[in-house]
Structure 1
Amino acid sequence: MKKLILTVAIVASGVSTFALSNPILNDQAAVTVVMNDEFQEVAVDQLPEAVTTAVEKDFAGATITKAFVNSSEQYQLILSIEGSNGTVYADKDGNWIKESDISNNTAQ
């Protein structure tokens, strides 16, 4: 009788192990971080005139606090407007570009 009870207990614990649910991983919740390490700081007074003119025209009252350039001559500008900071991107001709459109190619 003891062997029967012991056998039933072992079988029951083995079956319950298979009944446990596995957590489902949601791969859509993954976070992608894009780092543009290729930008190098450049002096604000060395920016192309087209870039500074675009800032003056489209962000009246803004001050360029920092500027960075990559090998494709795309600029990352840190602007200060009424105490708030923001980041914008422009090409060498003063055209605004999205962060997702930043080229990581080397200049040719």
Structure 2
Amino acid sequence: MKKLVLSAAIVLGSFSVNAAVLPAISITQSVIFQDAFTEVAADQIPAAVKSTVEKSFPNTKLEKAYKNDKNEYKLEISSGDKKYTIFTDASGNIIKK
């Protein structure tokens, strides 16, 4: 009888130990920062930026241009029905964002 009570206590005790273990939950939060771009006229874009667009993306049309505080340019260009957004610095180097 003592063995039966002891085994019941061990079995019931193991259930409570397993119940106390919580699964690990991983939470990932992504934050995307975007620099504030303001729209600029096409004549305010440096020649180096225009040259890069013409050489790298032939047969495209500049739709809109934006500039931020870091002197980076966000250019919206189109080729037929397709539209693209590219980023460059003031020297015309393409920036990957």
TM-score (structure 1 length as normaliser): 0.63
- Written as runs of structure 1 = structure 2, the 5 A alignment for 1:62-101 is 62-99=60-97
Pick aligned residue for 1:56 from 46, 54, 57: 54
Structure 2 gaps, min length 5: 1-11
The offset of 1:20, in angstroms, is 6.8
Pick aligned residue for 2:30 from 16, 29, 32: 32
Q: What's the % identity of the aligned pairs?
A: 36
Q: 1:65 to 1:22 in 2, by over 3 A?
A: farther
How many residue pairs match? The answer is: 85
The offset of 1:22, in angstroms, is 3.6
Q: 1:31 to 1:59 in 2, by over 3 A?
A: farther
Computed over aligned residues only, the root mean square deviation of the Cα atoms, in angstroms, reads: 2.4
Is residue 19 from structure 1 mapped to residue 48 from structure 2 by the alignment? no
Q: 1:72 to 1:22 in 2, by over 3 A?
A: same
Instruction: Deviation per CA, 1:32-67: give whole Å up to 9, x if none.
Output: 232324211111232111111110110001112111
Structure 1 runs of 4+ aligned residues shifted over 6 Å read: none
